Amino acid sequence: MAKSSKTKTALRLRATKTVYDSWEGVYRRHKPEDLPWYSPSVHPVLKAVLDRIPVTQGGALDIGCGLGQVARYLAQRGWSVTAIDISASAIRKAKQLTVPNATITYTRQNSLTLDPTRQFDLVVDYLHLHDIQPEDLDKYISVLAGMASDWIVMGYLCSKGHQKTTRPSQYFEGIVTQHSRSEISAALLPLGFRELAFDQCALRGASTEYQCDIVMFRRSSQATVCREVQQ
């Protein structure tokens, strides 16, 4: 590799490390209840979407699990859950909130370095997608889709129109992207996933209310045998 190219790679790695590792600072600085996404139990709108999946067993991956309320709900439903988050403090607190025999494996891991050959029946990304930096988004979505053998459920801050919008995060040192539903569906369609269910919810921050899309996708080859989910 040429020297300038090596330098660029090193600088990019350092920048990426800063953006994503700043999450550790978020969980150290704030009490859970002060974080707008925190909830002791799974959000009712997300719960209603998850409950429409007609199976409750198999392997589920919760990406950016935070304090683990989604992982706990999935485990309670019967899924064998792998929950990952980049913040060691989030993982530690999530473990403390989990009953000892729940089938959840928590791991501190960067979602950008997930092993794309691992397969899960269900992959959930709840409120993590909008924190992926714009230059990493395409790669992230293709890895996420590659790991999902059947279902994907996503929740993300949504834009008001059909265009995505970006702004600096109030919490970590990076960019937050508010996505549009059509853009996310268009990204997943060529990777084999079709939208089966959609809803929206509002999250209350310190001074603002955030609108979120909650979308369920299924691999196209499976989508036709599951019309009841759409009803």
Residues 114-143 touching ligand SAM, rule: CB under 6 A, are: 126-128, 131
| Cβ count near 116 (within 10 Å) | 12
Task: Please identify which residue in 82, 87, 98, 177 interacts with ligand SAM, judged by CB under 6 A.
Answer: 87
Which amino acid is it at 139?
Answer: K
Closest-approach residue to ligand SAM (CB): 66
Binding mask 17-56 for ligand SAM (x = CB under 6 A): ---x--x-------------xx------------------
Which of 131/195 has CB closer to ligand SAM? 131
**Quick check: 14 and 76 in contact, CB under 8 A?**
no
Q: CA of 164: how far to CAs of 76, 159, 160, 180, in Å?
A: 35, 6, 8, 6
Q: Which residues contact 92 (CB under 8 A, 6 or more apart)?
A: none
The answer to whether residue 65 forms part of the interface with ligand SAM (CB under 6 A) is: yes
The answer to whether residue 112 forms part of the interface with ligand SAM (CB under 6 A) is: yes
Radius of gyration of the chain (CA): 17
The answer to whether residue 85 forms part of the interface with ligand SAM (CB under 6 A) is: yes
Number of residues that bind ligand SAM (CB under 6 A): 21
Rounded-to-integer distance, Cα 142 and Cα 116, Å: 9
Q: How far is the CB of 27 from ligand SAM (least distance, A)?
A: 7
* Tokens (6 digits) for 94: 């999530």
Residues 139-178 touching ligand SAM, rule: CB under 6 A, are: none
For residue 219, what are the β-bridge partners? Answer: 193
* Residues found near ligand SAM in the complex (CB under 6 A): 20, 23, 37-38, 64-67, 70, 84-87, 90, 110-112, 126-128, 131
